[in-house]
Amino acid sequence: MASSTPVMSFLRPLRLPRPSTVRHFLRFSTSAPCSEATQQQKEDPNLIASRTAPEAYPPPSIAIRSNPRPKESRASRRTSFPMKQRQYPTRVPSHHQPETPKLIPEPVELLPPEQCAPNLPYFVTRSRKDELPIYTLRKRGGNLKMTRVKRIDGETSVLRDELRQLLRVGAKDAVINHTTGHIMIKGHFKPQIEQYLRQRNF
């Protein structure tokens, strides 16, 4: 069944919308009308009053009560009177402070060849960065300080006994971990152990 509505009626151009419809949609526009009246309304009233004020303003009564302008700024006064430096330490040092490691170690004098490697019953191998394998640790929340000596070959007990005499620590404070072969010493003694090993050509 053919439709009774003619097809050509849909192809006819639409007429322009009514002015009331256009004003209804333009009320959401963010652009403000550019007119002299609106510019005068938005202008600061104090600025307008200062432009229209007479040359004799302010009167002498107001000028006398106003404070004189300072000759120097507050910033220059702060620099001329600096703050006092603290005479007390900001951080309480702990009972044992390890020495700051130096980037270039100081030269040491080697012992006689009989007391140097490889004539010793043990040998300490350096790391890939050519450093002695001596490390400092902190356990129990930082209260327990330990020094670990790694990469030891040969008789580890001989080196442990020598380090006990050097550092003057007890038998329980310098022990050997038989699983890893490391020497664990209670306390931070990295500089002393490094110097001891370097004197023996390690």
Q: What is the CATH number of the domain that holds 191?
A: 3.30.780.10
pLDDT tens readout for residues 11-23 = 667 777 787 777 7
Q: What is the pLDDT of residue 60?
A: 65
CB contact at 8 A, 48 and 39: no
- Average per-residue pLDDT in the chain? 79
**What range defines the domain where residue 171 resides?**
130-199
Is 158 part of a structural domain of the chain? Answer: yes
What the block records as the tokens of 202 is 């390690």
What pLDDT does 26 receive? Answer: 75
Which residues are bridge partners to 137 per DSSP? 146
* Helices marked H in 43-122: 45-52, 60-65, 74-80
The two tokens of residue 93 are 């040092």
CA 34 vs. chain centroid, Å, equals 52
List, for residues 131-180, the tens digit of each pLDDT value.
999 999 999 988 999 999 999 999 999 999 999 999 999 999 999 999 99
Q: What is the pLDDT of residue 199?
A: 94
In a domain, 36, yes or no: no
Q: What is the pLDDT of residue 17?
A: 76
β-sheet with 174-177: strand ranges across: 134-139, 144-149, 182-186, 174-177
Instruction: Answer whether residue 22 is part of any domain.
Output: no
CB atoms within 10 A of CB 160: 19
User: Is 190 in contact with 96 (CB distance < 8 Å)?
Assistant: no
Give residue 142's pLDDT: 87
Instruction: Tell me which of 36 and 45 has the higher pLDDT.
Output: 45
- 191 in any annotated domain: yes
| 169 domain-assigned | yes
Question: Residue 147 and residue 134: Cα distance in Å, rounded?
Answer: 7
- Confidence label for 95 from pLDDT (cuts 50, 70 and 90): low
Confidence at 106, pLDDT banded by 50, 70, 90: confident
Has residue 190 got a pLDDT over 80?
yes
Residue type, 73: S
Q: Are 111 and 199 in contact (CB under 8 A)?
A: yes
70 lies in some domain: no
User: Residue 113 carries which DSSP code?
Assistant: G
The rounded distance, in Å, linking the Cα atoms of 193 and 36 is 88
The DSSP call for residue 147 is E
Mean pLDDT within 77-92: 65
The structural domain count of the chain equals 1
Domain annotation covers residue 195: yes
Tell me, yes or no, whether 65 lies in a domain. Answer: no
Q: What is the reported pLDDT for 36? A: 56
Compute the half-sphere exposure of residue 162: CA atoms within 13 Å on the CB side of its CA: 14
